[in-house]
Amino acid sequence: MPDALMLFAAGFGTRMGALTAERPKPLVPVAGKPLIDHALTLADAYGPLRRVANAHYHADQIAAHLTGRDVAISVETPQILDTGGGLRAALPLLGDGPVFTMNTDAILTGPNPLRLLAEAWRPETMDALLLCVPLARAVGRKGDGDFTLSQDGKISRSGDNVYTGLQIIKTDGLLGIDETAFSLNLLWNCMAENGRLHGLSYPGQWCDVGHPEGIALAENMLAADV
May I ask the CATH architecture of the domain 4-225? Answer: Alpha-Beta Complex (3.90)
Residue 147 CB-half CA count within 13 A? 24
Q: What's the average model confidence in pLDDT over 140-148? A: 92
Instruction: Dump pLDDT digits (tens) for 86-139.
Output: 999 999 999 999 999 999 999 999 999 999 999 999 999 999 999 999 999 999
End-to-end CA, the chain? 31
**Of 193, 201, 191, 150, nearest in space to 171 by CA:** 191
- Structural domain boundaries of the chain? 4-225
The reply to whether the predicted model has a pTM over 0.75 is yes
Average pLDDT over residues 183-212: 97
| pLDDT band (50, 70, 90) for residue 142 | confident
Q: Is the pLDDT confidence value at 171 over 90?
A: yes
What gap in Å lies between CA 170 and CA 49, rounded to an integer?
16
* pLDDT at residue 91 in the model: 98
175-184 average pLDDT score? 96
**pLDDT tens-digit profile of 157-166?**
999 999 999 9
Residue 226 has pLDDT above 80, yes or no: no
Distance, in Å, from the CA atom of 166 to the CA atom of 76, rounded to the nearest integer, reads 21
